[in-house]
Structure 1
């Protein structure tokens, strides 16, 4: 009798386990349906290969998530409480909760471009009314739990019939094949840079597709192909500018931007840069100016597009030139860029310099010699111009602590900063390169017509480290705060002490020099430099790692929502929560130029 009871219990548990597997499979199908909402954010595939990958990836991924929920929450309950009525009700509640979380994640992803995390939850909680703007958040869970209870009872009553058809192994095999195949295809796509597939990498929650690039590179294999510049990463269309530009070509003035890589704001003084220091005093200087990033590509993107760095890695901008250069071209400006070949290579697949003559230099001797070449090329080019012109001259010796061979520099001094011995060496070598760059700036500006609009600034700042990873990850003021001097014809010298950024360069030129009447928000994330910004924050970085500079603190955020908050000098980490209202503005600004 006892043995018979044990056997009956085992049979009951076995039936419940089988039922649980089919219930998990059913919820995997529901999760796939809910997961289609992510496509409204990232866009639908536009090729058969994209649709095929998305189909098998969704089947494998969401079925796997449903199975994990079953193993964690339902399977232990099946063993502890093998009572079908209790288990069916409990399973329906768990499944409803899981689908509601998935639905909420689709809302968060659509609004902020990130998945649920402690950071995202804090952000969303402060913006709850905007996210849940109707009563559907009440009706939806009720509808889901009714579906779950119906499905749980339906499957329980028919579990024996389903088992007789022996479909379980076939379904498991099919899901397993989809799961493995999706990862194998992604390995191939990652190795060959197939953006129709890799663009979905961050779409699904808890998705970590297998890659092969690091393995291939470690074995000296180059598996990449030329990027597909015609493929759009989103079916959401880039709306840049938001409205057609209304610009009136009046009296045209020449425009020169001199951008120096690694130019720190706190290192410009009469001893290191005598000409530039005097030039600052004679023109309009901005003492609280920030680049758009801590690297060349983000700093240059902010300078010429006037958009925050979260747009900089979007594929749409690989074939969308800045509105600034578009308008300059329409108004008959001859445009030219003078920069090191290495810097141009970083933006080789980008449309940032489209429509501009490229004058690129390279020297095996060092970046200082390259800067000398570019300075000479610009002087020759400028002397030949008859029509209005716009030019960007990019110098990079300071970034590499470089000076020409035989260069007579300045004396070594005690650093004004607290530095380690190796950093002190870099500090004084940096001063030598500043002294050299000062001479190049003098040559560039000395023979210019006084009616030329001139901007001299840093592409980004500099920290005293020879570790590239440390330099690229550092978002401190030393690495992003740069000098900014503007010579505006027929204006007096002035010192501007309110906070400004590279995002304001495009609106200033467009409004003041090119006489465009559109609202600045039609084409830029910035404000006119001649007026204090209404924003209480500045975005610095790209879409993966960035900092939000506020009035009294700096918030640094990583790709997966981890954040750290520092004081405004970046010297002390603060134990406080992020300021959600500003972060909400940041997230929305980074998606504002896309139509749904």
Structure 2
């Protein structure tokens, strides 16, 4: 009996070999595209952190690409062993998958989000304005770009098919496979160690790449009694506020014009008495929050538009809200009855009598006062409300809980969620500054909000408010969700896309 391979078996073998080389080529391309994630994030400040980044970069992207080949292309080779069909389908799938990877990378760079079902609503909200601005020219350009990319994949697939016998002579399959397996095992082993030690240079990379689910000490080591879970949770809850070692403020230079004929008065009540509401010109807005852990931090965060985790690094900086208008010729009037524990800001403080005179004057000014209830009654008059734009709010009276505080204004604001972190962006917007808010604040203008959520910090907690929920994050991934109306713990699942975006937004000013 003569044993010989059938033509079908020969074709399948050849297509499988071609598929491996085609997958390897696309792994290299995918790794290059994924460099966008790497360059969009500050490098870890330790050798082990950088080593993990490289290992995770190569192994995770390589794994995603190869598993795509195994799931979608390999079964098709055995089912339909026709070279033209396989090359066409393989090229189309590769082009689509890499285009999605590139889109996800750009989305992560801009918004800190990855493509997923849980982040779909958030992505639609964030990108709706951009997409609505697209005309047929932009859509035609994107389609043309994809066709060019598909053509490249077809050329690559055909080139490998014609030279498959030649490239098979390169015996590099085992070394390359060994390299990626070693990277994969090493990266997960490093992550287990880092998770057990709560080693932040590695832990902070958890959400860097799409579809990333690294092994953790909590799920692996505790299973075999190698980790004290209670001790692990206690240590983990103390991690977050130790991560700020430097700040870049502003994140980018702030350029804009200021209307020097405009006047804005911002009064923030510092005592616990009820705000005076007896003026028809003042409209009250709900869902405004003071997220700071004490009054001193609340004053500074209101001026900087940055949460209190940054305050220790801001002692040498003057808030953009004060510095920019002053340099552009608009007088600044800042009053506080007590020191703000910030040398640069305390230098520009004025006395109450002078502050009161400037509010009565018809001269344009940006006036910000941390005042008592009695002083508000003296300062807020019908004449003031008719002559100047006024915002009045209050520091939180209950620092143990997170409750909304009053927000009053004599001009139109949005009913969107807001916090004291939004004050600088709102003030500069009223004064005519059109600079990018994200360059100097984590807040947004209350007049023209772009986000339906807000983020801040309270002590070591990260606070995210969205819809009817409040997410409190202790350390990396340790969280609780509360209903904002009744303050009871919620059973809703965590919106990881929202939390990832909020954390990226919050830490945008770290060096």
User: Fold match, TM over 0.5?
Assistant: yes
Cα distance in 2 for residues equivalent to 1:449 and 1:119: 42
In structure 2, the CA distance between the partners of 1:138 and 1:508, relative to structure 1 (3 Å rule), is closer
Give the superposition deviation at 1:77. 0.2
In structure 2, the CA distance between the partners of 1:540 and 1:13, relative to structure 1 (3 Å rule), is same
In the alignment, which of 286, 299, 305 is matched to residue 301 of structure 2? 305
In structure 2, the CA distance between the partners of 1:92 and 1:181, relative to structure 1 (3 Å rule), is same
Structure 2 residue 454 is matched with structure 1 residue 458:
no
In the alignment, which of 151, 156, 160 is matched to residue 161 of structure 2? 156
Give the superposition deviation at 1:91. 0.9
Give the superposition deviation at 1:78. 0.8
Cα distance in 2 for residues equivalent to 1:451 and 1:136: 61
SS in 2 for 1:458: coil
SS in 2 for 1:82: coil
What is aligned with 1:94? 93
In the alignment, which of 188, 192, 197 is matched to residue 187 of structure 1? 192
- What's the CA shift string for 1:231-283, capped at 9, x where partnerless? 56xxx9743783599999xxxx99874377xxxxxxxxxxxxxxx45965599
What is aligned with 2:493? none
In the alignment, which of 389, 405, 408 is matched to residue 482 of structure 1? 405
Give the superposition deviation at 1:55. 2.1
In structure 2, the CA distance between the partners of 1:127 and 1:257, relative to structure 1 (3 Å rule), is same
Cα distance in 2 for residues equivalent to 1:55 and 1:255: 50
In structure 2, the CA distance between the partners of 1:154 and 1:208, relative to structure 1 (3 Å rule), is same
Aligned residue pairs: how many?
A: 416
Whether the aligned pair in 2 keeps the contact of 1:539 and 1:546 (CA below 8 Å) is yes
Cα distance in 1 for residues equivalent to 2:190 and 2:269: 46
- What's the CA shift string for 1:6-34, capped at 9, x where partnerless? 5x533432332232122212111111111
SS in 2 for 1:220: helix
Whether the aligned pair in 2 keeps the contact of 1:325 and 1:355 (CA below 8 Å) is no
What is aligned with 1:273? none
- What's the CA shift string for 1:166-203, capped at 9, x where partnerless? 32122111101111222222334445555444443322
What is aligned with 2:173? 168
What is aligned with 1:519? 433
Structure 2 residue 174 is matched with structure 1 residue 178:
no
What is aligned with 2:231? 220
Gaps of 5+ in 1: 261-275, 338-352, 358-385, 390-443, 463-470, 472-478, 487-493, 549-553, 561-565, 571-582
Cα distance in 2 for residues equivalent to 1:497 and 1:128: 26
What is aligned with 2:285? 288
Cα distance in 1 for residues equivalent to 2:161 and 2:335: 76
What is aligned with 1:119? 121
In structure 2, the CA distance between the partners of 1:520 and 1:458, relative to structure 1 (3 Å rule), is farther
Give the superposition deviation at 1:75. 1.1
What is aligned with 2:206? 201
Cα distance in 2 for residues equivalent to 1:301 and 1:130: 40
What is aligned with 2:362? none
Cα distance in 2 for residues equivalent to 1:60 and 1:138: 31
Whether the aligned pair in 1 keeps the contact of 2:270 and 2:372 (CA below 8 Å) is no
RMSD over aligned Cα atoms: 5.8
In structure 2, the CA distance between the partners of 1:296 and 1:227, relative to structure 1 (3 Å rule), is closer
Give the superposition deviation at 1:451. 6.4
Cα distance in 1 for residues equivalent to 2:427 and 2:122: 36
Cα distance in 1 for residues equivalent to 2:156 and 2:280: 74
Which structure 2 residues correspond to residues 138-537 of structure 1 after superposition, within 5 A?
138-212=143-217, 218-221=229-232, 222=235, 227-230=242-245, 238-239=250-251, 242=254, 257-258=269-270, 276=273, 287-292=284-289, 304-306=300-302, 312=307, 319-320=313-314, 335-336=338-339, 388=351, 456-458=394-396, 481-484=404-407, 499=415, 501-503=418-420, 506-507=423-424, 519=433, 525=443, 533-535=447-449
Structure 2 residue 82 is matched with structure 1 residue 71:
no
What is aligned with 1:53? 52
- What's the CA shift string for 1:404-445, capped at 9, x where partnerless? xxxxxxxxxxxxxxxxxxxxxxxxxxxxxxxxxxxxxxxx96
Cα distance in 2 for residues equivalent to 1:508 and 1:152: 52
- What's the CA shift string for 1:520-566, capped at 9, x where partnerless? 866564569xxxx3559764445985426xxxxx7999999xxxxx9
Give the superposition deviation at 1:38. 2.6
Whether the aligned pair in 1 keeps the contact of 2:37 and 2:109 (CA below 8 Å) is yes
Cα distance in 1 for residues equivalent to 2:298 and 2:243: 24
Give TM-score, length-normalised by structure 2.
0.60
Cα distance in 2 for residues equivalent to 1:160 and 1:114: 43
- What's the CA shift string for 1:142-176, capped at 9, x where partnerless? 33223322332333344444444432122111101
Whether the aligned pair in 1 keeps the contact of 2:91 and 2:157 (CA below 8 Å) is yes
